[in-house]
Chains A and B, each alone.
Chain A
Amino acid sequence: MEPASIPHLIMQLYVLVLSAFIGLEVIAKVPVLLHTPLMSGSNALSGIVLVGALTLTCSAASKLGYLLALAGVFLATVNVVGGFVVTDRMLGMFRSKTPQKAQRDQHAQVRSNQNAEEKQA
């Protein structure tokens, strides 16, 4: 006797319910500070349709199906790449108080002041 197979739909619903709970748990802890990066980062994740678009481009049975999927590949790629690039840029701006850069700036300023004084002298 063959084991009863679980229909696709039920498995899909399992994935849906569990990942929705994981998402709510993980994301609820994101501080206000990071809300914009969270949004643009998750925005990039929604470009996951790229995977579907690629699969269909490669397995399309008709010209129309191919073109539709290919257009999907383009839009989803822009979404994914743009989303990750802009999130990275944004997160690079969040700086802690670590004064590395400030110190460097100060040194540079002191040096330029000295130069100026020397010139004046």
Chain B
Amino acid sequence: MNNLSWISHLFFLLASGGFVLCLKLLSSPKTARKGNVLGALAMLLAVGAALLQSPPAQEIIKGLAITIVAGCLVGIVAGRKIHMTAMPQLVAIFNGLGGAASVLVSASEMTRWATLDSWQASPALALSCWASAWIGSITFSGSFVAFGKLQGLLSSRPVLIPKGRLATLLLTALLLLTGVVSMKTPESLALLALTVLAAEILGVLLTLPIGGADMPVVISLLNSYSGLAALTCGFVINSPILILAGSLVGASGVILTRLMCQAMNRSLFNVVFGAFGAKTAQSTAVSHKTMKPFSPQDVAMLLHNSQRVMVVPGYGLAVSQGQRALRELADLLKKHNIQVQYAIHPVAGRMPGHMNVLLAEVDVPYEDLCDLETSNPQFLNTDTTLIVGANDVVNPSARDTPSSPLHGMPILHADKSSNVIVFKRGEGLGFAGVDNPLFVADNTHVVFGDAKASLTAVTTQLKELV
């Protein structure tokens, strides 16, 4: 190893430390921003080290520079312009790009092997290349299907493909076969193309049947895959930093996937293969109670007489873009010494932690955002709970009725508070298609209509009262 090579390896080592520290700092809201900047600097260092290790030849500098600048521009514009409600879509696309990049890198490395004389890739190397190709391809096509569903281009209902499972099995068998053959003919680009093609189709088949409410799991899973793709790519080109960063991303994806599955009380297998919500809902016990409607004025009166208010936001809030109206109502309440806090279920929104970001965007201080564990004991001494566009996450049958499809799912115990107000579009069911006894409970009243409009109306009424 010459000096230059030593220096670049040291840079890679430094950058690796930076990545770990970046994730560590990301675990506290006070240091998170610094952590992100540190991660970006470490990435810059790694890129510098890569260029130092193998400097670009004169004739490719121009093409390389143009490509990098173009990539930066696209990235900056996408990152700055995206609406926070569309964050899951953006993350899905970025996951897909990362996966595709890994495939391209492995393919490029493979073309290099063919030019080397009297050298053959070891079976382990060939397998790494094969793994990177199919993981990256599944990530790519799966991410774009997820994007389509989140963006509303594809139906967010689970799509059942006829003979889908058979096709999945066949494609998996085909992939295993290409893996075995690749060890014999490691330099065959045609085989790589076949692997990529099969994995692309498999990615589509695996993602299409997953319903819109399970998107937090899918996004986490694809995040994990994009890490695995980078990791296997690190094996292909023998780069420890790729292996390290890939493992970190893979780990974060695994943790988030597990948390999301726990929050829905479902196994990963059930999410991926269960096609939850595909069957039309059969309401088991037909309840004879009806929902009791409330006018914005009634709500204002009730809030005026409350001391502690809890808000349970759901995706319905984001759909109606009512976050700002909600914050204005909360500000007004706080001005009159009424305590307001937000109880946020882990799967509120469409990716892990999405609701926190949506509320942070409208300047809700993060101290007011409570997670499942901290908010549940507080419902007992809450005067009024406002449920805005949430349904399944406050369904008490998940706790009380063993026969309910939701049974076992951790919920927010909104029903324990003295009064419950539900902001709801219509009398429809939640995503799981299960009756919610909370909505017809004695202490519950329902405000029908668009969440944003209703919230604004309540604020107006409350201003007249105080």
**Interface residues, chain A, with chain B CB atoms under 8 Å away:** 8-9, 11-12, 15-16, 19-20, 22-24, 26-62, 64-66, 68-97, 101
| Distance of B92 from chain A, by nearest CB (Å) | 10
- Tell me whether B111 and A61 are in contact (CB under 8 A): yes
| Distance of B103 from chain A, by nearest CB (Å) | 8
- Tell me whether B60 and A39 are in contact (CB under 8 A): no
Given contacts A39-B351, A70-B67, A86-B79, contact A95 B97 (CB under 8 A): no
Interface size on B, residues (CB 8 A): 117
- Tell me whether A9 and B124 are in contact (CB under 8 A): yes
**Interface residues, chain B, with chain A CB atoms under 8 Å away:** 12, 16, 19-20, 22-24, 26-30, 32-33, 35-37, 39-40, 43, 46-47, 49-51, 53-57, 60, 63-64, 67-68, 70-72, 74-76, 78-80, 82, 84, 87, 90-91, 94-95, 97-98, 100-102, 104-105, 107-109, 111-112, 114-115, 122, 124, 219-220, 223, 226-227, 229-231, 233-256, 259, 344, 346, 351-354, 356-357, 360-361, 363, 365-367, 369, 371-372
- Report the bound CA distance from A78 to B80 in whole Å: 13
**Chain B residue contacts of A85, Cβ below 8 A:** 75-76, 78-80
Given contacts A12-B234, A53-B105, A72-B104, contact A26 B46 (CB under 8 A): no
- Tell me whether A58 and B252 are in contact (CB under 8 A): no
- Tell me whether A95 and B98 are in contact (CB under 8 A): no
**Chain A residue contacts of B91, Cβ below 8 A:** 39-40, 43
Given contacts A27-B23, A35-B356, A41-B36, contact A16 B247 (CB under 8 A): yes
Q: Give 8 A-B contacts (CB < 8 Å), ordered by A residue.
A: A26-B20, A32-B344, A38-B26, A41-B39, A45-B249, A47-B94, A68-B104, A84-B43
- Tell me whether B248 and A19 are in contact (CB under 8 A): yes
- Tell me whether A39 and B252 are in contact (CB under 8 A): yes
Given contacts A36-B352, A45-B248, A78-B71, contact A54 B47 (CB under 8 A): yes
Given contacts A34-B353, A96-B365, contact A75 B33 (CB under 8 A): no
Given contacts A34-B27, A70-B67, A78-B78, contact A42 B36 (CB under 8 A): no
**Chain A residue contacts of B354, Cβ below 8 A:** 36
Given contacts A22-B20, A41-B36, contact A82 B101 (CB under 8 A): no
- Report the bound CA distance from A90 to B357 in whole Å: 7
- Tell me whether A55 and B53 are in contact (CB under 8 A): yes
| Distance of B222 from chain A, by nearest CB (Å) | 10
**Chain A residue contacts of B372, Cβ below 8 A:** 32
- The residue in chain A whose Cβ has the minimal distance to the Cβ of B63 is A70
- Tell me whether A95 and B60 are in contact (CB under 8 A): no
- Tell me whether B233 and A52 are in contact (CB under 8 A): yes
| Distance of A25 from chain B, by nearest CB (Å) | 9
- 8 new A-B contacts at CB < 8 Å, known A71-B104, A95-B366: A28-B255, A41-B36, A54-B54, A54-B64, A68-B107, A81-B71, A82-B76, A84-B36
